[in-house]
């Protein structure tokens, strides 16, 4: 695309170049940006529909504001691709979501135009309020009379993030500002999937209504106080009674002290530029309500914006612009997410007391199958993780068996509720943590690297991990019957391994590990692996089998750990390597060391291996695992290192009966 001489996008050197272009050229540029994004996401995967929906809006924002000086803060961040292409990062697009290329979320290391790394919803308004207050304290904020060249602040929020509790808190505080502050609400009628709740229903009514009360009376009264309000008034007269671009003095946002304009057409560049030009110099907090179409520009993404919110790579049969083109998503195996969704349906069919929910992630967690099959016993609460966990606690209190399917990274937002309303009450709320560990292209903002350290602090909590589909099913069945407190099962954004598919999976028994390898009763080293790194550890052990005897255990539980097994291994002088797809700080390895110390055992031969104390940036999950040494080769290196550092194992007679008893206790078939 870039080598065509008539292309506008490759010729842009900075957002300032936009102001040299006509409206017609800007519209051509919008088409080029969409084409570039679709072409790249088809090859690598990425966030597609959210970015296609904000192309004109992003162009208009950069046309009107100077974000080299002014402040632009994103909410969620997965709608930033057009912004990145307009700020000099077209050369990075070809390596999207890899270490060499463009991150899929705002990334300050890439450009000064990105102010925060953003991957969680609801934060944009609050961080923008903070920057607005900071600029005021630094005497740098925009004042149309006293400091016309001061910094303006804009935050772009969309994909139903406005219903998030943090966004509500931000709105509540934004209304107290005494300066320019613009919230651009990208209202596309969607979240990641269909938005939920009363607020989304309010926006549905707004979009469908032809009037916001007596517009003429309120608009003329309001326009007298808006700098340059004549443009708004002219737009009103030009578009007539049928326009939806109202100044809404009775809007929901006005209850927070923010004047509201809109909704206006988020794909009409001329209108966007006019209204943003007015809002730029408004001296009070304002919400500009912009109506967009998620997936805009391509029939396949407009008609199924949930599927194409963040698709994997895909192939196209026919022309993309043709409504009849056929899109085939590339699949390379059966995912944990798919396995979980089917398992939950089966669980709910067997037990009418099982209920489930997700927070705006029905596709991402596999809950779409559950919502379709059991609409009365399952819920999507929108981007409201804290509410979701509290609601599950309420259901547990009334005798139901609640399961909350949530990404590990988003569980962080509900930790207070896990503590206060679930664990503290002794309620059996069940957490199903998708995307645990390293997540690949989404990078640092989405890694699930602290769920173990958070949850195992809670008294009575039970924390587990699955290594494959059969162990996931066994863990879910254990959780269904577990009534002693909060429980959690973690699994990665990956495909299930077929390594042990030919063997029957033993039931989960509280605090009992499962041996995965056949070896001698007195191995050279034992690997206690938590979660899917156990599969890589088995491969590592096999690769070293000519030199060393290595026993690999699927630990299954990070709380409680298998104290009997740990005691037996340490007493027999067998070096131990713990392995986990989680931070080494506060994770499974730490739990093993604490248990050994509590039992008065020698911990000098226990080594902990997991994610290091640092940020792992975007790349493929396999490359990330190799980077931190959690692939088979990396674990093999660690085994060699531990054995090289350890003195010879004890020569005491092996107590094989203890090992055999442990195998029976775990119900192993190995």
| Secondary structure of residue 155 in the 3-state scheme | strand
Cis omega before residue 614 (within 30°)? no
Rounded to whole angstroms, the Cα distance separating 522 from 539 reads 20
The answer to whether residue 371 sits within a structural domain is: yes
Q: Is the pLDDT of residue 206 over 70?
A: no
Q: What gap in Å lies between CA 419 and CA 454, rounded to an integer?
A: 10
Query: Distance between alpha carbon 593 and the CA centroid of its chain, in Å?
Result: 31
Q: Is the pLDDT of residue 312 over 90?
A: no
**Catalytic center residues:** 294, 385, 413
Are both 474 and 620 inside the same structural domain?
Answer: no
* Residue 579, phi then psi, degrees to nearest 5: -135, 135
- Cα dihedral sign for 353, 358, 363, 368? positive
The DSSP element (H or E) to which 443 belongs, if any, is none
Bridge partner list, 71: 153
Label residue 218 exposed, middle or buried (CB < 10 Å: 0-12, 13-18, 19+).
middle
Task: Assess if residue 639 is contained within a domain.
Answer: yes
318: pLDDT strictly greater than 70: no
Of the pLDDT bands very low, low, confident and very high (cuts 50, 70, 90), residue 652 is very low
pLDDT at 411: 96
d(CA 92, CA 424): 48
- In a domain? residue 306: no
- Of 456, 490, 524, the residue that ends a domain is 490
Domain end, chosen from 291, 323, 353, is at 291
Report pLDDT digits (tens) over 161-183: 888 889 989 999 999 999 999 99
Residue 277 CA to residue 152 CA, distance in Å, equals: 12
What would the two tokens of residue 140 be? 């740098």
Q: Which pair of tokens denotes residue 214? A: 């007596």
Output the pLDDT for position 300: 86
129 part of a folded domain: yes
pLDDT for position 523: 96
**Average of per-residue pLDDT across 481-510:** 96
Q: Is 382 left (phi over 0), alpha (psi -120 to 50) or beta?
A: left
Q: Are 415 and 454 in contact (CB under 8 A)?
A: yes
388 and 254 inside one domain: no
Lowest mean pLDDT among 286-295, 302-311, 553-562, 598-607: 302-311
Cα separation, 392 vs 497, whole angstroms: 31
Domain around 193: 63-79+103-291
Angstrom CA distances, 628 to 380, 529, 543, 623, stand at 35, 15, 19, 9
Residue 478: per-residue pLDDT: 98
Residue 505 domain-assigned (yes or no):
no
204 and 160 Cβ atoms separated by less than 8 Å: no
Q: Which residues contact 635 (CB under 8 A, 6 or more apart)?
A: 527, 533, 536, 537, 540, 577, 579, 609, 629
The Cα–Cα gap between 670 and 656 comes to 15
pLDDT at 657: 35
Proportion of the chain above pLDDT 70, given as a percent: 85
Listed residues 458, 490, 522: the one ending a domain: 490
Task: Report whether pLDDT(444) > 50.
Answer: yes
Q: What's the whole-number mean pLDDT along residues 130-159? A: 93
Q: Which pLDDT does position 191 carry in this prediction?
A: 45
Instruction: Verify that 440 and 541 share a domain, yes or no.
Output: no
pTM recorded for the entire structure: 0.85
d(CA 413, CA 481): 26
- Of 26, 50, 25, 48, the residue nearest 37 (C-alpha): 48
Inter-axis angle of helices 533-543 and 632-645, to 10 degrees? 60
**pLDDT the model gives residue 250:** 52
Let me know: does 668 contact 514? Beta carbons within 8 Å.
yes
The residue that leads in pLDDT, 191 or 572, is 572
pLDDT in the model for residue 4: 63
CA dist., res. 194 & res. 382, Å (int)? 8
pLDDT for 15 beyond 70: yes
The total number of structural domains in the chain stands at 3
Measured CA to CA, the distance from residue 539 to residue 534 in angstroms comes to 9
CB-based contacts of 241, cutoff 8 Å, min separation 6: 210, 211
Residues 6+ apart with CB under 8 A from 565: 512, 513, 528, 553, 662
Residue 495 lies in a domain: no
Alpha helices of 227-358 — where are they, by DSSP H? 230-239, 269-280, 299-303, 336-350
Number of continuous H segments (helices) and E segments (strands) in the chain? 25, 19
Q: Is the dihedral of CA 369, 375, 379, 382 positive or negative?
A: positive
In tens, the pLDDT along 519-528 reads 778 999 999 9
488 by DSSP, 3-state: which?
strand
Give the closest residue to 223 by CA, choosing from 234, 207, 239, 208. Answer: 234
Q: Report yes or no on 262 lying in a domain.
A: yes
- 213-227, 251-265, 414-428, range with greatest mean pLDDT: 414-428
Same domain, 544 and 484: no
> From CA 241, how far away is CA 246, in angstroms rounded?
10
Q: Reduced to 3 states, what is the DSSP secondary structure of residue 358?
A: strand
Q: Residues 209, 357: one domain?
A: no
Q: Find the mean pLDDT for residues 8-26.
A: 95
Residue 572 carries which DSSP code? T
- What is the rounded average pLDDT of the residues 469-498? 97
In this structure, are residues 544 and 636 in contact, taking their beta carbons and an 8 Å threshold?
Answer: yes
CATH number at residue 274: 3.40.50.970
Stronger pLDDT, 69 or 191, i.e. the higher one = 69
The angle subtended at Cα 248 by Cα 244 and Cα 252, nearest 5°, is 110
**Cα–Cα nearest to 466, from 490, 430, 435:** 490
Three-state SS for 362-419 is: HHHHCHHHHHHHCCCCEEECCCCHHHHHHHHHHHHHCCCEEEEEEEHHHHHHHHHHHH
Q: Are 386 and 478 in the same domain?
A: yes
pLDDT in tens, 394-429: 999 999 999 999 999 999 999 999 999 999 999 999
Question: 542, exposed or middle or buried, with CB in 10 Å at 0-12, 13-18, 19+?
Answer: middle
- Helix pair 230-239, 269-280: axis angle to 10 deg: 150
540 and 443, same domain (yes or no):
no
Q: Is the pLDDT of residue 512 over 60?
A: yes
Does 212 or 109 have the greater pLDDT score? 109
Of the ranges 114-128, 410-424, 432-446, 646-660, which one carries the lowest mean pLDDT score?
646-660
Same-domain pairing of 478 and 373: yes
Instruction: Mark whether 217 and 348 lie in a shared domain.
Output: no
**Residues 528, 397 share a domain:** no
Instruction: Read off the pLDDT of residues 42-59 as tens digits, 9 standing for 90 and up.
Output: 998 999 999 999 999 999
CA dist., res. 442 & res. 330, Å (int): 18
Q: Are 571 and 486 in the same domain?
A: no
Maximum CA extent, the chain: 95
Write down the residue that tokens 């700020």 correspond to: 87
- 257/131 same-domain check: yes
Q: Rounded CA gap, 393 and 417, in Å?
A: 9
Residue 535 is predicted with a pLDDT of 98
Q: pLDDT over 90 for what percent of the chain?
A: 72
Alpha-helical runs (H) found in 464-551: 469-481, 533-543
Q: Which residues pair with 430 in a beta bridge?
A: 403, 487
What is the per-residue DSSP string for 75-90?
SSSTT-HHHHHHTT-G
Provide the mean pLDDT of the chain.
87
CA distance 466 to 499: 13
Report pLDDT for 239. Answer: 40
Which tens digit of pLDDT belongs to each residue from 347-405? 999 999 999 999 989 999 999 999 999 999 999 998 999 999 999 999 999 999 999 99
Task: Give the model's pLDDT for residue 326.
Answer: 65
Is 312 within the bounds of a domain?
no
Domain CATH number, residue 604: 3.40.50.920
DSSP type of residue 423: I
Q: What's the sign of the alpha-carbon dihedral 64, 67, 73, 79?
A: positive
């Amino acid at each position: 695309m870039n080598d065509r001489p008539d292309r506008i996008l490759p010729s842009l050197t900075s957002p300032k170049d936009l102001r040299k272009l006509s409206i017609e050229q800007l519209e051509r540029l919008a088409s080029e940006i969409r084409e570039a994004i679709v072409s790249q996401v088809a090859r690598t995967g990425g966030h597609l529909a959210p970015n296609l929906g904000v192309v004109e809006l992003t162009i208009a924002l950069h046309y009107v504001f100077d974000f080299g000086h002014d402040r632009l803060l994103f909410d969620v961040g997965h709608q930033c691709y057009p912004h990145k292409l307009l700020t000099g990062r077209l050369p990075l697009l070809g390596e999207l979501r890899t270490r060499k290329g463009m991150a899929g979320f705002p990334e300050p290391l890439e450009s000064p135009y990105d102010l925060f790394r953003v991957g969680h919803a609801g934060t944009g308004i609050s961080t923008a309020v903070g920057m607005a207050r900071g600029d005021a304290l630094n005497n740098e904020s925009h004042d149309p009379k006293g400091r016309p060249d001061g910094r303006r602040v804009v935050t772009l929020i969309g994909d139903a993030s406005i219903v998030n509790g943090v966004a509500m808190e931000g709105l509540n505080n934004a209304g107290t500002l005494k300066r320019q502050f613009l919230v651009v609400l990208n209202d596309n009628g969607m979240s990641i999937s269909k938005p939920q709740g009363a607020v989304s229903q309010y926006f549905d009514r707004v979009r469908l209504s032809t009037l916001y009360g007596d517009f003429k009376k309120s608009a003329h009264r309001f326009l007298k106080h808006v700098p340059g309000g004549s443009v708004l008034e002219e737009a009103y007269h030009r578009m007539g009674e049928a326009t939806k671009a109202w100044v809404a003095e009775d809007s929901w946002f006005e209850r927070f002290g923010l004047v509201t304009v809109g909704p206006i057409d988020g794909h009409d560049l001329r209108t966007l530029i006019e209204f943003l030009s007015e809002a730029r110099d408004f001296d009070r907090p304002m919400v500009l309500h912009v109506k967009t179409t998620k997936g805009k520009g391509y029939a396949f993404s407009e008609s199924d914006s949930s599927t194409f919110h963040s698709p994997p790579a895909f192939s196209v049969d026919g022309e993309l612009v043709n409504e009849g083109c056929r899109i085939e998503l590339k699949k390379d195996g059966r995912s944990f997410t798919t396995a979980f969704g089917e398992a939950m349906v089966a669980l709910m069919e067997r037990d009418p007391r099982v209920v489930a929910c997700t927070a705006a992630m029905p596709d991402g967690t596999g809950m779409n199958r559950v919502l379709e099959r059991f609409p009365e016993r399952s819920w999507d609460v929108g981007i409201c993780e804290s509410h979701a966990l509290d609601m599950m606690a309420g259901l547990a209190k009334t005798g139901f068996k609640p399961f909350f399917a949530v990404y590990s990274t988003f569980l962080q937002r509900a930790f207070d509720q896990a503590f206060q309303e679930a664990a503290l009450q002794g309620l059996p709320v069940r957490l199903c943590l998708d995307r645990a560990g390293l997540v690949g292209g989404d990078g640092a903002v989405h890694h699930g690297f602290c769920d173990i350290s958070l949850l195992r602090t809670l008294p009575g909590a039970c924390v587990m991990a699955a290594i494959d589909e059969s162990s996931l099913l066994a863990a879910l069945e254990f959780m269904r019957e577990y009534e002693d407190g909060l429980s959690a099962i973690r699994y990665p954004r990956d495909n299930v391994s077929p390594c042990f598919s030919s063997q029957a999976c033993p039931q989960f028994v509280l605090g009992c590990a499962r041996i995965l390898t056949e070896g001698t009763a007195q191995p050279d080293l034992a690997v206690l692996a938590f979660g899917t790194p156990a599969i890589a550890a088995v491969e590592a052990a096999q690769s070293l089998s000519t030199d060393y005897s290595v026993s690999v255990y699927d630990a299954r539980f990070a709380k409680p750990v298998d104290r009997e097994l740990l005691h037996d291994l340490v007493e027999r002088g067998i070096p131990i390597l713990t392995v986990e797809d989680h931070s080494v700080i506060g994770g499974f390895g730490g739990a093993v060391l604490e248990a050994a110390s509590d039992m008065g055992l020698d911990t000098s031969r226990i080594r902990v291996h997991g994610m290091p104390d640092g940020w792992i940036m975007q790349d493929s999950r396999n490359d990330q695992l190799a980077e931190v040494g959690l692939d088979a080769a990396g674990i093999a290196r660690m085994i060699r290192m531990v054995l090289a550092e350890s003195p010879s194992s004890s020569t005491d007679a092996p107590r094989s009966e203890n090992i055999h008893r442990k195998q029976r206790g775990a119900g192993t078939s190995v």
